Structure 1
Amino acid sequence: MVRRRLTPADLLQLRTVSDPQISPDGTRIAYVQTTMDGHANQYKCRIWMVSTAVGSTPRPFTFGPELDYAPRWSPDGEWLAFISARQGRSALWIVPSQGGYAHQLSCLQDIGGAPVWSPDSSSIACVVHVGPKGPEKDNWPHRTSEVRFSDDVLVIDRLWYKLDSAGFMVRRHWHLFTISVTGADRGKFTQLTFGDTDYSEPAWSPDGGSIAIADNRTPDGIGMTHFNDIWVVPSTGGVPRRVTSSLGPADHPAWSPDGRLIAYIGHDRRHGGYTFPGIWLVSASGGKPRELTANFHYAIGNHAIRDVRGYKEPTIVPVWAQDGRSVYTCASVSGAVNLWRFSVLDGKAVQLTHGNRVIYNLSFNRDVRQVAMAVTTPTLPGDIWAGDVNGIRIQARRITEVNRDWLTSVVIAEPVRFTFRAANGPEAEGWILAPAHRSRFDQKPAVLQIHGGPTVMYGHAFFFEFQLLAGCGLPVIYSNPRGSFGYDQDFAAAIRGDWGTMIIWT
């Protein structure tokens, strides 16, 4: 087959996979597959299911007309909860895990994040965008007709008042709710937090008695004060209790198996906004947090950027080993994002996956013996992989090939790495994506791509725009100058308060 060059219309042929959720028994993976509808100018996504065995055939699991996403298995493996916008606004739905009729669990709408099951599979925690009239009655600001001046005038008194895909943030806040799944109270919801503040990332304690959640209560808390704390709320209702110390951002709480500690992702702002996020541990009863990754020289999390993404992809969070002796998460190193394990005793880091790849979503099964990952490379938009968690290395196997036909019909360029040294600075790296019919050393026009942030990194991820330019005959040069994450802390913080004065090239 003669391969052709990319065209802008190829973007509409791409299938993006994200948010792989492995079943508690490790036999199946539910994931989100997103496509772009050029006629309707919108995303469409469904939940798909695939066995963890190599050679399995994926199949669609939900059939909503527009957006089904954020699948989450119940701990007993009987149900799959997900969020759907099939009725216009995001609501919580559940479906039997073996397949069947999906139905909306409650009347709550405008649900954010992902549903979080209680340990006994009896209820679900989630955050809901609540307005002044409450979750059942408030419909502002979605009403577009019969606008009344006295009702809908916005008084904006904070910096962050609007968000892409969420709309206006004024007069509405994200609050914690629980929804019953079983018994006579099925579908009944309970609001657990209140006030002029926003909560996110709920996590149940192992005994189901408490929920840890992130919240910012500093003045103008959803503005530019980059402080978050972890709070603990009784799952039956009560006053939230702060357990961290307002050192800086603190997000994505995860309880240790014995319920004594909470791990979270954050930092203490010692380098301002350029401080690497790390894994921190704090007692569930509160106290001084300890940075588990204090001696780790790279940023925790996925900081690689790319332009082909799934709908509402989740953030990679810390996950405890079943014995409570270590914590798993990803780290960004030299353009790659791989899975690491950190010892709770001494912070010792062990890299479990290797290679020029970016893991952008992942999940573990019940006993943390198997992992499902969404992976991209410079020549692969993304696929689902699975691996067994044992020893010091995970041998991952590719489970899906969602863009196989498309990839065999078009020319995809392979980037070439190079290094350079800035004046009085450290060695930095970049890549040249050369058209297939040209040498990367040709003295002809090229496109220099400069990333924003600046605390993100270019790396081993697929970029449609770069491939399109290369298909047009233009070499693409992209690099990670100082300020980028993916290297050491000094490299990232070098431009703090000093933008634009350093010479990049020598």
Structure 2
Amino acid sequence: MWTIALSSRKESRLFENAFHPSFSPDGSRIAVDASWAGPRRIWTVDARGRNPEQVSTDVSEAVAHLRPRWSPDSRRIVFQSVEGTRFGVRVVDVASKATVRVVDEPYASLDPVWSPNGRFIYFSSYRGGGINLWRVPVGAEGAAAGPAQQLTTGAGQDVQPSLARDGRKLAFATLKQNADLWKLPLSPDTGRPAGPGEEVVATTREDSRGNWSPDARRIAFNSDRSGDMNVWIASSDGAAPRQITRGAGGDFQPTWSQDGSRLAFFSSRSGHLNVWTAELESGRLTQLTRNRSIDINPFYSPDGRSIAYVSDQGGRLEVWAMNADGSGARPLTSTGVLGHFLRWTGGGTKIVYRCPSFGGAARTLEVPLDGGEPQPLAEVAGGAHMSFSPDFSKVLDVVGHKTIWISPLAGGSPEPVFEFDDPDVRIDYPVWSPDGRWVLFDRFRPQGGDVWLMENLD
């Protein structure tokens, strides 16, 4: 870690193996993240790099603390916690070392910063489908004092927020990416590749989150090729693309009804993230949930009578279910939900989901639709975006955003089935086709970025 005197341009080396320095408002202390005494934690040193003091602690050595930023009164530090693929926001009191969780959910929350008046913490999150800017009100102790508010709805990745001193202007970077839909032929018997991967839907914009129709002849996906992130469909070879939804905001992650006549998706077009449906023949849109909470990731049941989805209206993200017309909404779990993963099993009587764990690996659980305690399904070493084979004997997952792996559900060693060699490319969201012959997945490639300014914040 180095400092530079702006008047003389003189550089001074302070210490080693520390990152993300942040000066306290009075300039007397520097906060950093460092692994000087074990796992990466938040430390402070004086302006000369002396008198180090560890500020943050954690019960788990698997959790890292990163990117500290001081509060305006120098009493607290906000930082990013990382456990595997789980990114949260915490605040630590510098004097007492007490830590509170501000944002704790399966959706990565990044780059937290304070507002100049100390009343808000701004951060990036992909809880709405894309990576957008959010802010959460905080109380005197740094804990959340209300629900988070979404500030941007663009299709790019909005990151690294920075506020002007008066708190009314917000600068941020938008990272652009190109996303294509690819498919890989698989043997229905073994799940192993039956040929090379091929591009299905490709534009210069983002085409992602593909899902197969029940007859495997069509795919639905979200795309910003028209300017806004909306829902589209195409034939399974990518031909005849057709726009289903239109309008500002964002429409994400469409899934099919069993008869192929409509799509369920989640959208921010109402100002909040809610579940909607679209009738393919008429184009009619229907809003099913009307909450100020986050309602996302809807999936139709096999009989088309119910929709499972993820909602935080009870305080944190859980599995919910409702009738296909939006009535009868009810929570099914109280364990928390990890990622975008929900799947129906048992002919539509149960829902499989991933449960986060602070003390170890995430678990795969199965919860009955009519109520009851979730039960472990299997010890599947999968992530947040697994996909089951049609006969429910195998599971696909992406490891490191580079490789698609297949594992027997009954146990056994996972094996790689597909990988991109390009270091700039990442893949995600594999979806097995209903006939077991294909897997559809996203391929992402970065395309640079821009800096934007948001004004007149209140």
TM-score normalised by the chain length of structure 2: 0.46
The answer to which structure has the higher strand fraction is 2
Structure number with the bigger relative contact order (C-alpha 8 A, sep ≥ 6) is: 1
TM-score normalised by length of structure 1:
0.42
